[in-house]
Structure 1
Amino acid sequence: MQIEDADILEKFQNERTRNEAFNLLLKKYQQKIYWHIRRLVIDHDDADDLVQEVFIKVWKNLSGFRNDSQLYTWIYRIATNESITFLNRKKQRNNIPLEDINPELAGSLRAGSYFNGDKAQMKLQQAILTLPDKQRLVFNMKYFDDMKYEDISAVLGTSVGALKASFHLAVKKIEQYLLSKD
């Protein structure tokens, strides 16, 4: 049985059931958030650390959640922002120009012991890493997370039309990459 977000939020407001509510929230969203972050930062250990940071922020801020968006879009927004901040820090720390982080991520994708995909999956992931950050985010959220454009819009604060255009461009670039690598 899937528990509703409203029930989780209601339990979280009560001091006696707050921990139970948070455990329900983790059970419902932790794996989805992990894979969302993992597709952005590639490395398992980095993704694990970021998931912990995301849910610490969720814990600290959930009592102030105003229900003006869906709970999962709010959590995805936190996860997305944490991932982008992490990648920007990684670029600065390693003195990598902004446009050169994706080849480094592709290298860790190939070297990662946690990636167990076949050759087709590896090629798809490498193609995705050639995309600009915004297109990569939109593609991952639409393709892997099967999110609606309206929900992606709520997470990224971008119009649905712009998201559709980004997704379309991303798909075309991925197709070109895959066709050129045959």
Structure 2
Amino acid sequence: MASLDDLALLSLIKDPKTKELGYRKLITGYQRRIYGVIRKMVIIHEDADDVTQNTFIKAFKNIEKFKGESSLFTWLYRIATNESLNFLDKKKKRFFVPAEDHEKKMATYLDSSPHIDGEQVQVILQKILLKLPEKQRLVFNFKYFEDLSYEEISQITQTSIGALKASYHHAVKKIEKEIQPE
């Protein structure tokens, strides 16, 4: 359900006199979080910037279709999630890159990128996450990094809560196995 803040923002966007201001507020309010979600999926900074931009372009083009059945946050995250997954699929198909090679390229990027900040533990975790199937990685990122509830993730991904819990559980088990090999 759209909040009062969402409704006020939508009102700004729908009024031709304040449309530009409304869009600026939308970007200011959500860009950092949307970029963060996308970056955890596509890894490479430049790609994340492109996908973030595409997410907002798609949101602007489709703002009239937003029905207010969810929050703007949930709606934008759904667009960002779909754009991220589509980007990754296109990238693999375009370069005919096996998943393992793509994973190695992104892991190398994590080691050498000046855009990666944080402790070595975070880099190690990101490398482990690259080995997860995209859906498990997405659910793990939403739950662990974004601290979203299963209900919120369900709205964003349009997946049942039971399936999300199973994906998260499998992701955690795989991560634990990588951290503590037998």
Q: Same fold (TM over 0.5)?
A: yes
Structure 2 counterparts to residues 108-119 of structure 1, below 5 A: 108-119=109-120
In 1, distance between residues paired with 2:150 and 2:101?
28
Helix, strand or coil at the partner of 2:151? helix
Task: Determine the structure 2 residue equivalent to 1:139.
Answer: 140
Residue deviations 1:53-76 (CA, integer Å, cap 9, x gap)? 111111111122111222111111
1:50 Cα deviation from its structure 2 partner: 1.1
Which residue identity lines up with residue 136 of structure 2 in the other structure?
Q
Task: Determine the structure 1 residue equivalent to 2:160.
Answer: 159
Q: Give structure 2 stretches of 5+ with no counterpart.
A: none
1:99 Cα deviation from its structure 2 partner: 5.5
Q: Percent identity?
A: 46
Task: Determine the structure 2 residue equivalent to 1:74.
Answer: 75
In 2, distance between residues paired with 1:134 and 1:56?
24
Q: Give structure 1 stretches of 5+ with no counterpart.
A: none
Which residue identity lines up with residue 76 of structure 2 in the other structure?
I
| Alignment root-mean-square deviation, CA | 1.6
Structure 2 counterparts to residues 31-50 of structure 1, below 5 A: 31-50=32-51
Task: Determine the structure 2 residue equivalent to 1:85.
Answer: 86
Structure 2 counterparts to residues 16-35 of structure 1, below 5 A: 16-35=17-36
In 1, distance between residues paired with 2:85 and 2:162?
22
Which residue identity lines up with residue 70 of structure 2 in the other structure?
S
8 Å Cα contact 1:73-1:154 kept in structure 2: yes
Which residue identity lines up with residue 136 of structure 1 in the other structure?
R
Helix, strand or coil at the partner of 2:93? helix
In 2, distance between residues paired with 1:37 and 1:14?
30
In 1, distance between residues paired with 2:122 and 2:149?
23
TM-score if structure 1 supplies the norm length? 0.92
Structure 2 counterparts to residues 159-178 of structure 1, below 5 A: 159-178=160-179
Which residue identity lines up with residue 167 of structure 1 in the other structure?
Y
1:113 Cα deviation from its structure 2 partner: 1.9
In 2, distance between residues paired with 1:116 and 1:98?
25
TM-score if structure 2 supplies the norm length? 0.92
In 2, distance between residues paired with 1:75 and 1:99?
30
8 Å Cα contact 1:12-1:63 kept in structure 2: no
1:141 Cα deviation from its structure 2 partner: 0.7
Task: Determine the structure 1 residue equivalent to 2:127.
Answer: 126
Poorly superposed stretches of 4+, deviation over 4 Å: none
Residue deviations 1:11-51 (CA, integer Å, cap 9, x gap)? 11111111111111111100000010000000111111111
1:98 Cα deviation from its structure 2 partner: 4.1
**Number of residue pairs matched?**
179
